[in-house]
Structure 1
Amino acid sequence: MDVLSDVITVMRAGRPRSARIAWHAPWAQQFAPVPGSAGFQIVLQGPCWLIASDTGPVPLAAGDIVFRPHGRGHTLADSPTTSPTAPACDPNDPGLARYVSDVGDAAATVTLCGAYQLDPVHRHPLLDDLPELVHLPAHLGRHPELRATVDLLAGELERPRLGTDAIIPALLDTLLLHILRSWLDHKPAPGTVTTGWAAALNDPATAAALRAIHSDLARPWTVATLAAEAGLSRAPFARRFTTLLGKPPLTYLTWWRMTTAARLLHESDTTLSGIAVRVGYTSEFAFATAFKRQYGTAPGRYRRAGR
């Protein structure tokens, strides 16, 4: 798998939720903080404001997308001066669907809101690099795949049909991937010194090494073989990788192997020896030692505790 697909597969937990809501002025809706989740708001019709203590008021227009990756609370309102009157609501709450109302009124503001449940144990550092608010303003011709996904999701929520219960979670996963792609595709200004996952995945050498790790985790990687994938000599590659991602190549490799192993222990019936081979260990003993070092418990006990 590629890096971003791997990250989403490991971090995600449970089923994502979404609702299509029509608001009629004056209105202000609080969305409660939900630790261990990431939420989004998409404006389908009309203007509104997003108000949060960590960002300040943000004006939104039809087509705008905002992503809150760290589960912080916020308010949507017709104006920054409108006081919230509705009770705080959790975007994971299935009861949120009760807010859906007739959208025939052209004066209404219509939004899509939703949330993803994330596994705090397997939280990938890519998510930690995201700002409190990712705002993707509507611009003609920008992010066409993202816009197409929004249209499909809005249609399914407005007109549920046979298969909708299966389609909506798949569209929400697709939406999350396109939001992250759009953020990662943002190129810093020339001469700007940046670090973190956006910089690493936009750096050809580091991105090549990450692709190699994620596409063939079982290979007996060394700094030298990863440097060869990156097209650099050993020392410059190690410095570059460590500078951008904050940890040396083999430290990241071991962490990702153990993260992948933990997911396999909980989600599959693969034997311990089979998992050891899949994540690059030649013996079950070596794998168990590395796993216990990271998780503080033996792989077998970890599997039993998760079931």
Structure 2
Amino acid sequence: MELGQLLQKRVGLLFPGQGSQHVGMGQRVHQLSEAARRIFVQAEEILGLPLRRLCFEGPAEELADTANAQPAILTVSLAYLEALRERLRELGASLQPSMVAGHSLGEFTALVAANALRFEDALRLVRERGRLMREVSQERPGGMAAVIGLERDALEEVCREASELGLVVVANDNSPGQLVISGEEQALQRAMELAQRRGAKRVVRLGVMVASHSPLMERVAHALAEMLARIPLREPEIPIVANVTGRILSTVEEIRRELACQVAQPVQWTTSVREMTNRGVTTFLEVGPGQVLTGLVKKIQRDVEAYSMRDLGLES
């Protein structure tokens, strides 16, 4: 797809969350774009982390560490965004999205894109968010799994049965037919087995080493609320759809509440995408590593277009 074609469409920008990381991410856009290179340099100066080495070379285990993965994905996503803006400036145009949204961690990126949160503050927030999530996970190890082809009621019953072994809940509504469960290791493993027995088409362990969007993360939510109270925020310049409610975030106080509580609450991604299409978005562009959200959009709303950075030639 040619970038200039986006100028004639009502575009919604989507920013991916944790699990989208992979060794080599961002390397191509770093080679192609001066604006993208500036984002990487700025992030490394702010955090004192060798983000380019981590993103481009790994090792995968170090990149997957939640305290590294979160700032790395945010940085790569914003590098892509700046590269898009740079290319459009060369065409004498500018990127004017109708709406933005981000999945989990991606919500922080979306708020930077909407000029509601500064890049440097977002980096520090997600670095600490990741560190706190890792801390909880070390105390109560867990993770997440996608369950495909099982009704929500049946999956909730599975989680209730598996909860004899620990906490496990239905965490995310990613698309029709795809739900995500999250919880402590033994309970999660039991729920995965039960889901398959009850008729799930597939059960896939996700590349996330923490039980995000579950009550296990309440302590993280409280700590984030305290941090967010001290960080300057602005009302978004672009409408942004919230993870927790699937509705527009309008005020600074709404943003503070959303960013704190979403780590322990389910992501209503199906509702979020439908809210964007109901408000006129016809084309979705996933701005970040991978194509997870592009695939989900096509399952949620078959009559819209959805593209990733690979489709624009910015990711190999």
The normalised TM-score by structure 2 is 0.25
Between structure 1 and structure 2, the one with the greater Rg is: 1
| Higher relative contact order, chain-length normalized (CA < 8 Å, sep 6+) | 2
TM-score by length of 1: 0.25
